Structure 1
Amino acid sequence: MLALLRRGPMYGYQLRVAFEETTGGTWPLNIGQVYTTLSRLERDGLAVALPESETGQRPYSITDAGRADLDAWFTTPVQRGERPRDELAIKLALALTTAGVDVPRVIQAQRSATMRALQEYTRLKNRTATPTDLSWLLVLDAMIFQAEAEVRWLDHCETTVVRHARTTPPTETGAEEPAKERAR
């Protein structure tokens, strides 16, 4: 929100539209979330509410403290440990340790979905290749690279699962015992 407010004063709906235009709608914002964020920014002295317009909308403006905070955010690298949990990695870990789950099928279903998304991102990129859409093109590139990396990782998972199945003898019940149990 601060980066958008740096462009000039805006009210909530304008901020939501500007954010979605800038990111190509890849992370849609709930208008309530926008106003909650504006309230926090105002509470923290990073933005200030301006008088209501004639139409009843209250624009917000970035403060000097907000500019400093934004500059610090832009120059601070994103730490890998601060990223959200990876639902796919968790799903595969649980699939591997849950009896009766066809892990190769889980991997293949995800690979198919990721490939469809990759094709869609590539199609969008080819349709949006104008210099004025640079921010959207970079967001698309990030999505393409992440999808390509996910496909490579899924290929690796599939190979590892197959290799592990060939080298691990089944337990008496016919299911593989967890790695922790084998290590004891």
Structure 2
Amino acid sequence: MSVKQGLLALLAEEPMYGARLRSEFEARTGGTWPLNVGQVYTTLARLERDGLVEPVGGSDEEGRIAYRLTETGRAEIASWWSTPVDRDSTPRDELVIKLALAVTSPGVDVQGVVQTQRTATLRHLRDLTRLKSRTSDEPDAHDLAWLLVLENLLFAAEAEVRWLDHVEATLRRMPAVPLRADARSALPADEPAPRATAPTTGGRS
């Protein structure tokens, strides 16, 4: 979710100034995706430029300016609620990229990378489970929002552990990945690439 849609969704309820938008966003998502005030006001400036929000009157005694949705902004957020999240573009996942590079890079202990990540992910999973055990059995709206976010993180961590198990099992079934010809050029200058042995022929040398 982009910050843009998050702020529009909050402003659909009532006008708010930047600091309150930040605190409301973090409260409703359990602080999982923290924002800074500068990011909020930069986004508000873009939304105002695009005609989606407008300031309400002047600044208050503390110099804060509240914003509200325009009719275009209300149409934008209504469209967002009714449109599925686009999954066509694959987001960059550092762990996936790390392992993809590890299995194709000479000298990397891929099993060690997997085991280190599994330990960290299991620790994260235990922390999330403890957090969930402290949630109320009868949550209010804000507690429910946080619970949904928390459960999403739990499912993601569990899926990551299963994927790491799959990666490790796949590595055990496969032979060591040979050094590719195009990787030889990346060897240090003082470390010559392995020389191929020419086949023996019956002709003159």
- Partner deviation per Cα, 1:134-166 (whole Å, 9 max, x = no partner): 00000001100111111111111111111112x
Q: 2:39 aligns with which of 29, 33, 39?
A: 33
User: What is the TM-score when the length of structure 2 is the normalising length?
Assistant: 0.79
- Structure 2: distance between partners of 1:159 and 1:4: 45
More helix by share: 1
- Unpaired runs of 5+ residues, structure 1, are none
- Partner deviation per Cα, 1:120-146 (whole Å, 9 max, x = no partner): 111111112341100000000110011
- Structure 2: distance between partners of 1:68 and 1:4: 14
Identity rate of aligned residues, in percent? 57
What is the CA distance between 1:8 and its match in structure 2? 0.8
Partner SS for 2:124: helix
Q: Is the contact made by 2:15 and 2:68 (CA closer than 8 Å) also made in structure 1?
A: yes
- Structure 1: distance between partners of 2:73 and 2:40: 16
CA RMSD of aligned residues (A): 1.7
Q: 1:19 aligns with which of 21, 25, 29?
A: 25
Name 1:163's counterpart in structure 2. 173
- Structure 1: distance between partners of 2:87 and 2:121: 22
Give 4+ residue runs of structure 1 displaced > 3 Å after superposition. none
Q: Does 1:144 align with 2:150?
A: no
- Structure 1: distance between partners of 2:90 and 2:71: 28
Alignment of structure 1 residues 2-13 onto 2, 5 Å: 2-13=8-19
- Equivalent pairs counted in the alignment come to 172
User: What is the TM-score when the length of structure 1 is the normalising length?
Assistant: 0.88
What is the CA distance between 1:67 and its match in structure 2? 1.3
- Partner deviation per Cα, 1:76-111 (whole Å, 9 max, x = no partner): 111223352111110000001111111011011111
Q: Does 1:89 align with 2:96?
A: yes
Name 2:53's counterpart in structure 1. 47
Tell which structure's C-alpha radius of gyration is larger.
2
